Structure 1
């Protein structure tokens, strides 16, 4: 079997936004379809969608808006973890999306915040994406970013002056090829390797462990299906059918493992414990007005209330199998059947919508 080149590997792109719809317009632009409507400004849970960018297979992972006021710190941590699990074993590119005309003081801090959340060397894999709806073009637009507007220059300089401008009319995909080339050149400077750090290693190990458990759990089912295929088909047709079935099962298992693994369950459990401690502390403070007995009762009641959200998380874990099963089933793979390359996995039929926690 010939060794696959970098161009044959699915390109994992982690998209991060600071505020507004820019990161969702960027996802539509990359995939060439309306994954998110123009009214979407934030998402409750990280999502993964797959497709093609100029013929290159890509997986686009949307993380949370880093300055979303509706996300608590614990929810933000959990969603950042989820985005890491969805982009394991590590992203090839991290794209931070902004509205070129609405750069805020917070936006200037975003590259540093990304570095704090994802690791010291992550900016080597990071590019600034600017959505624009004006009349400037080419050199004039480049001068605006790198010369005229000092805040834009300062922003992109944090990512070694790597940036790309795309249109708010995301259906205008004239800059797609240029964006892909910029990502590939950035990767070449890093030896063609995807980004990885200690957290990504833990995430990938957890996902792989979950995959092994799920494969073992599904062995009786897969064994029966393979036996049925062997009874119905022969020769090349049997091999093609087996390849198609194994690819589909593998995709389902991987999708489920990315959403349900010990690393994510640990973050949910930690949230439950923190909720209990915070609630108990508040209950004891309130109960102290009534003396020692009131502290004991207030602490117990406060702990129960504070842990309620964590208990809900545990209930979510209990039912996660059922909820992710239907998600995984939607992740079907398309295989081409021709004389030159039977059973070669090309990509996904559509997208799979990720469980919203």
Structure 2
């Protein structure tokens, strides 16, 4: 689906019956900067170009559209989110003429509130943190005669929508190439669930998936370590400040973090979707789970802005850490035995909670670290690695 088929002369979304899906087909671009740096063919799937500026619009607009279809135009959508999930719900609801109420935790900035109001969402500030905001949104949705609570990341309908980016990428890659790896960020697991679902659709289930988190928000990494699978000697003992929760439906253990310490707040799920953890543990191509210092994500954010003239959230730039750390990239994606260049895809997942002011702060933090030390800590499937600043 082209951008033109979705947008009318005034910039508003058409609601023609032919436009079954609301998301935009995003470009898959070859990056000359990163391809040269990594001696590989590096492609970027630009999900930051979706209407709400993040990949979340795919799955959430799919969920919202189905809710409107099944519940009628009087449906009232509720969501708890101070970030990209909430904005995706508000944007999709506005396009379909549905009512939307967003619950934000205390401390949400006026700038964030204004983003939601621009999309005509009703904004409520309630709860000290996401869990309390979610509880309030759930109560409100259940008390409404036609209310629907929209999940942020834990629902198969979301993964089905997100999977479309892989269907597109398989068609957009030249000469029907199968990539040597796909990189994506992971918080609660919504994007990873979509990527794995999409890979099954296009016969890429054997393609290695590399999931990236920051070290203060690594509930997915911790969850994989609690199960038999990719980590040597697993299951491992839980990390400090981590509660082990057994999900009987999927027969997996998941980690609930008692505190999120990463600055990459949009990765800040305290517990991942158990079904996505199960997918990762049983996937043919496997999953390499990586978490790294916030500083590396900041550095990648700055370098990506310089190279590609795009500003993305830290959650997105966490994905790009291997792109700007060649030694890490080579460790994660070994050279091909046949000597041909590797082909990889980085999902540029986007995000609207970013500013020029934040980039200035990131630069200060990166400069301070570089002054004190030239090494960065990275963990992959239970192993700790150190990499010098590239």
TM-score class, shorter: under 0.3
Bigger strand fraction: 2
Q: TM-score by structure 1 length?
A: 0.24
Larger Rg: 1
More helix by share: 1
